[in-house]
Amino acid sequence: MPFEAQVIQVMIASPGDVTIERELVRKAIESWNSTHSRKEKTILLPVGWEDAFAESGDSGQDVINSQILNNSDLLIGIFWAKLGTPTSKHPSGTVGEILDHIKSGKKAMIYFSDQKLSPSVLDTEQYKQVRDFKKQADNLNLGFYRSYTSGDEFKSFLSKDLSGMIISNFHSPEFNSSTNQNKQNKLSLSSLSIDILTAMGESSGGTLARLDVNTGTRFHSGSNHFGNPGDPRSQAEAIEAVEELVHSNLIKLGVSGGDVYVLTAEGYRLIEEIEESSISIEFEHDISLDAALLLKDAVHGPLTFSSTNGTQAVLEYQSGEVKFLSHMEMTKFLKSMDELLIKGYYTEHVDESMKSSKGVNCKVTYLATHKGYDYAANSDI
């Protein structure tokens, strides 16, 4: 059934060495549209250099700028080992697209890959240019940017970041209530601010404590910490993110005073909106993205989960690899695993020598079923 909606054109800007990530962006947007476009009265339209057509007399970059860049509302930029081909005005076409887009007052999300590179394919000069560009990110006023270390992490970041970006900046007054619109016009949160807000929402008391020590300032909410001791930039970013949340009336100092912040009613409401609008990329409309990413580990054999204090956990793979999980990661893992157990993709075997309640003094081994193996083998994950 037809419905009215605003169309947000999303440009994917990158050099040619991140083709997988470019496709992941398109799939994420396609899935978001399938799940949320009717409810949100918003359709995201992904575009890139592939969608431009040649025009006589114009350079390739001029064509991309006139046909794609100038008409885009949001830009997602991605870099790995290449900065791209230089133009007459900028170090590369991609850099020029990003800077021109931001200069026009539009929103951008920039990602830098920290994945390992094979020395045989590494162009050291190009890689150095990417690192230099990343170091200049603050001076260039890129705004929102972050790094990722794997394709899975990129998917996870993209899901949360895109959801927050849409909620904060792209709700149309024509299709949304005035209350929501006033809030959305007021908010334009950084990714770190969203991370802190989410961590507070997941903590038992909804609090954030500030600690000023001889190595600087740090914040913690539950088992999650923000601002690394001895790292001035990390601390400055954390302080700025907290100030942004206070200014947006999402958190405030507790009534008891001191350096403990609490969520406001507006903060709780925004957390709920982020969770509801969070991109749940589904494969075959069956399971969430987080569960699908976990399911791919089925091919590596059993997973053993153990926790002795309920705030942290250890995940052991058959290969011998060990991963330590924070409270937030543990909660996310158990939620995804419960989904897989319900769907019949995994079975669990509880170590009876330990308490069986999940998250406290427990040890559970998860084994993929034949259905799980088949799903992992035949799904694009």
Tens-place pLDDT, residues 269-280: 888 877 665 544
- Which residues fall within 8 angstroms of residue 239, CB to CB, at 6 or more apart? 217, 227
Looking at residues 225-232, what average pLDDT do you find?
Answer: 81
Say if residue 146 is in the same domain as residue 12: yes
Q: Determine, yes or no, domain membership for 156.
A: yes
pLDDT of residue 258: 65
Q: Determine, yes or no, domain membership for 181.
A: no
Helices and strands, counts by H and E, the chain: 12, 15
Least confident of 148-157, 241-250, 296-305: 296-305
What is the rounded (10 degree) CA torsion for 186, 187, 188, 193?
Answer: 150
- Which residues fall within 8 angstroms of residue 236, CB to CB, at 6 or more apart? none
As given in the structure block, the two tokens for residue 171 are 């709700």
351 contacts 364 by C-beta, under 8 angstroms: yes
Listed residues 232, 255, 277: the one ending a domain: 277
Say if residue 124 is in the same domain as residue 207: no
pLDDT of residue 96: 94
Give CB contacts under 8 A, 24+ apart, made by 254-257. Answer: 254/207
Residue type at 368? A
pLDDT of residue 95: 95
What is the rounded (10 degree) CA torsion for 23, 26, 28, 29?
Answer: 170
How many other β-carbons are positioned within 10 Å of the β-carbon of residue 56? 4
Say if residue 109 is in the same domain as residue 257: no
Looking at residues 226-247, what average pLDDT do you find?
Answer: 85
How many other β-carbons are positioned within 10 Å of the β-carbon of residue 168? 23
Tens-place pLDDT, residues 18-31: 999 999 999 989 88
Determine the 3-state secondary structure of 25 from DSSP. Answer: helix
263 contacts 250 by C-beta, under 8 angstroms: yes
As given in the structure block, the two tokens for residue 9 are 């054109």
Q: Determine, yes or no, domain membership for 284.
A: no
- Domain count of the fold of the chain: 3
As given in the structure block, the two tokens for residue 178 are 């005035």
Between CA 243 and CA 245 the distance in angstroms is 5
pLDDT over 50 (residue 108): yes
- Name the strands in the sheet holding 144-148, side by side, starting at the edge strand that comes first in the sequence: 42-47, 6-13, 74-79, 107-113, 144-148
Say if residue 196 is in the same domain as residue 161: no
Tens-place pLDDT, residues 112-151: 999 988 777 788 899 999 999 998 887 777 768 889 999 8
pLDDT over 70 (residue 221): yes
State the CATH number of the domain containing residue 249. 1.10.10
Least confident of 91-105, 154-168, 170-184: 170-184
Listed residues 215, 242, 277: the one ending a domain: 277
Tens-place pLDDT, residues 317-364: 877 778 888 777 788 888 888 888 888 888 888 876 655 444 455 888
Q: Determine, yes or no, domain membership for 282.
A: no
Say if residue 51 is in the same domain as residue 120: yes
C-alpha radius of gyration, the chain, whole number: 22
Say if residue 359 is in the same domain as residue 261: no
Question: If we measure between CA atoms, which residue out of 302, 303, 304, 307 comes closest to residue 362?
Answer: 307
Q: Determine, yes or no, domain membership for 372.
A: yes
What is the rounded (10 degree) CA torsion for 61, 62, 68, 72?
Answer: 100
Say if residue 251 is in the same domain as residue 317: no
Tens-place pLDDT, residues 285-295: 457 777 877 88
Structural domain including 52 reads: 6-176
